[in-house]
Chain A
Amino acid sequence: AQRVTQPEKLLSVFKGAPVELKCNYSYSGSPELFWYVQYSRQRLQLLLRHISRESIKGFTADLNKGETSFHLKKPFAQEEDSAMYYCALKSAGKLIFGQGTTLQVKP
């Protein structure tokens, strides 16, 4: 079955600390994975996709097929990074989302 798992409901770090938001997936085939972010009182929006191998707002994510993971990382967290983060897997024209992780960056 296709599934996305984000094991942490809440991740709390201090400003300047490294951040890693975990995402594991289950998919038969070549996966396409994404990270979406929802800032307070804003709409859900695309942060990055693994195909483009880009860095957005200092965040990167590498697809590890061996570990079936797509963890989101940032070396130095900022207070404005506080938000809900969703990992998503593309499947037959739709996205399957994980449970979401709330990132709280404390001053």
Chain B
Amino acid sequence: NAGVTQTPKFRVLKTGQSMTLLCAQDMNHEYMYWYRQDPGMGLRLIHYSVGEGTTAKGEVPDGYNVSRLKKQNFLLGLESAAPSQTSVYFCASSQTGDYGYTFGSGTRLTVV
């Protein structure tokens, strides 16, 4: 039982490049979330999903897009990476949207 798996774990991008971060959960959770973690800023919600085929904007959605075509997967896309998107990205899932979040191990992204 893997829980929440994020790929890749590390990535370096050049400014302007695009990439997709994958989050996969095997707990049949309805809710999934993407956060970014920055020093002094804590965890900020980028986008989230309350079920297959749904997405919603969080606190800092600009520059990111998401898709939830399958219940178990939540993809985060960067169309044109910028240095300001250098961060650690965490995915989480929850059955009820309540407190019981299961987090992934994170993806460390550097944009140069």
Q: How far is the CA of A44 from the CA of B58 in the complex (A)?
A: 19
How many residues of B are counted as interface, with CB atoms below 8 angstroms from the partner's CB atoms? 24
Query: Which B residues have a C-beta under 8 Å from some C-beta of A?
Result: 31, 33, 35, 40-45, 48, 50, 58-59, 90, 92, 97-101, 103-106
Q: How far is the CA of A44 from the CA of B97 in the complex (A)?
A: 16
Among the 9-residue stretches A61-69, A71-79, A92-100, the one with 4 or more Cβ atoms under 8 Å from chain B is: A92-100
For window 1-44 of chain A, which residues contact chain B by CB distance below 8 Å?
4, 6, 9, 32, 34, 36, 43-44
| CA distance in complex: A24, B58 (Å) | 21
Q: Which residue of A lies closest to B30 (CB)?
A: A93
Give the interface size class of chain A.
20 to 34
Contacts of B90 in A (CB 8 A): 44
Q: A86-B43, A100-B42 are in contact. Are A46 and B50 (CB under 8 A)?
A: no
Chain A residues with CB under 8 A of B104? 43
Q: Which of A45, A93, A96 contacts B97 (CB 8 A)?
A: A93
How far apart are A20's CB and chain B's nearest CB, in angstroms? 19
Q: What residue in chain A is nearest B37 (Cβ atoms)? A: A100
B16 to chain A, nearest CB (A): 30
Q: Is the CB of A9 within 8 A of B40?
A: yes
Max chain A Cβ within 10 angstroms of own Cβ: one of B31, B33, B98, B104: B98
